[in-house]
Every structure is written in structure tokens, then in C-alpha cells.
């Protein structure tokens, strides 16, 4: 069997997209494996899930580096060095990585965002899509570049916005698609990177 793409997943919270990647990677034919889950918040619920799945975890708490992003990122790089990583998957990672950090991993950091980029960069995407009167919404997997939510798009999945949707119902419908999109994107990139 050919080598698998080695993933580091960065999380900050519940880790449901990480969970979707764990499920995908459990399939023998899936071309990737998770070598590390890193969180910037020590109490991220996703860390528990990762540990229960038997994955290596690292915590680099950004609060230990107040106003010192270079030191925070240097510590992340130090931890990453211990693992054989081909691709970093941001999955609800709520820190913005610097241009210097991103330059160390050219086209090797991807993110999932809950909107059809370039629409609705940033936070609160579901309510903003509703307020804008959109007829569809969705999610995007994209390369990470220094400008937030602006990197080249790898793939998108769309859902209709229904007349009685609120932000929660729409978020749930988009999240289902996120859990399909992220493994799909990793599979696509494996064809390029392996």
C-alpha cells in the first residue's frame, strides 16, 4: 500500500470536522492518516475526542504568549517538528497564522470555512447569509494565505437556504456538508502530494 498523507489537525473547539477526518482516515482505502491534533485551547472538547481515538495531541495555549504571536508560533513549530507532517488542516482553529508561519508550509495549510467564499469571510457567516437574502449557502475548503479566508479554493459544497431557516438550522445543514467536504478535499490533495 502506498504511503499515506500525514495530517496535523489544528483545532480550538468541539472538533466535529476533525471527527469527520478521523472517521475518513479509519477507512483502509483513505489516502491519509492523522499524526497529530494540536489545540490552542487546553479545554477544547475536540482534544478528548482525539485522545479517545488514540491520536497524539499537543496543546500550545496562546494565552501563555500574551501579545507575542511569534513566540506562540515558534512553540507550535517546535511541537510540529516531532511529527512527520505533510499537510496541516485547520478545523475550527480560531487563531490567525502569520505570513511567516504560512510561508514555512507553502500550499500545505488548508482550512474549512462555513460559507461559499468569497462571500462571508470571517465570523457569523450563517446569520449574515440569511440577512443578505441569499438563496444558497455552504462551505469552502481553501488554502491558507496571510489574508483571512482568501486563499485559493480547493472545493465547495452548497446547500439551499429554506424559508423557515434560522442561523442554527442553516449551520447544521452546512456542517453536514463540511463533514463531507473536508475528507473530499484531503483526498484530492493526496493525489497531488503523494
Q: Which residues of this protein are in contact with ligand GRF, per CB under 6 A?
A: 11, 13-17, 46, 91-92, 112-114, 139, 178
Give me the residue whose beta carbon is nearest to ligand GRF. 92
Q: How far is the CB of 117 from ligand GRF (least distance, A)?
A: 11
Residue closer to ligand GRF (CB basis): 8 or 112: 112
Residue closer to ligand GRF (CB basis): 17 or 190: 17
Closest CA to 187 of 49, 71, 32, 9: 32
User: How many CB atoms neighbour CB 105 within 10 A?
Assistant: 18
Q: How far is the CB of 2 from ligand GRF (least distance, A)?
A: 28
Q: How far is the CB of 124 from ligand GRF (least distance, A)?
A: 11
Residue closer to ligand GRF (CB basis): 2 or 26: 26
Q: How far is the CB of 99 from ligand GRF (least distance, A)?
A: 20
Which one from 27, 62, 113, 137 is the annotated catalytic residue? 113
With helix as H, strand as E and coil as C, how does the chain read?
CCCCEEEEEEECCCCHHHHHHHHHHCCCCCCEEEEEEEECCCCCHHHHHHHHCCCCEEECCHHHCCCCHHHHHHHHHHHHCCCCCCEEEECCCCCCCCHHHHHCCCCCEEEEECCCCCCCCCCCHHHHHHHCCCCEEEEEEEECCCCCCCCCEEEEEEEECCCCCCHHHHHHHHHHHHHHHHHHHHHHHHHHHC
Residue closer to ligand GRF (CB basis): 31 or 114: 114
Look up 113 and say whether it is catalytic. yes
Active site residues per annotation: 113
Amino acid at each position: 500500500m502506498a504511503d499515506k498523507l500525514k495530517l496535523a489537525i489544528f483545532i480550538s473547539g468541539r472538533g466535529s470536522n476533525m471527527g469527520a477526518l478521523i472517521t475518513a482516515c479509519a477507512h483502509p482505502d483513505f489516502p491519509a492518516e492523522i499524526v497529530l491534533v494540536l489545540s490552542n485551547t487546553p479545554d477544547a472538547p475536540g482534544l478528548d475526542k482525539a485522545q479517545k481515538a488514540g491520536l497524539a495531541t499537543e496543546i500550545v495555549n496562546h494565552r501563555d504568549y500574551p501579545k507575542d504571536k511569534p513566540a506562540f508560533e515558534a512553540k507550535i513549530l517546535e511541537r510540529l517538528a516531532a511529527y512527520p507532517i505533510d499537510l496541516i488542516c485547520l478545523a475550527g482553529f480560531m487563531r490567525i497564522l502569520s505570513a511567516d508561519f504560512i510561508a514555512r508550509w507553502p500550499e500545505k495549510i488548508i482550512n474549512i470555512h462555513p460559507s461559499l467564499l468569497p462571500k462571508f469571510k470571517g465570523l457569523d457567516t450563517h446569520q449574515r447569509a440569511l440577512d443578505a437574502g441569499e438563496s444558497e449557502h455552504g462551505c469552502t475548503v481553501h488554502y491558507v494565505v496571510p489574508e483571512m479566508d482568501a486563499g485559493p479554493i480547493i472545493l465547495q459544497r452548497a446547500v439551499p437556504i429554506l424559508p423557515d431557516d434560522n442561523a442554527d438550522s442553516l449551520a447544521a445543514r452546512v456542517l453536514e456538508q463540511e463533514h463531507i467536504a473536508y475528507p473530499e478535499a484531503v483526498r484530492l490533495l493526496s493525489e497531488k502530494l503523494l
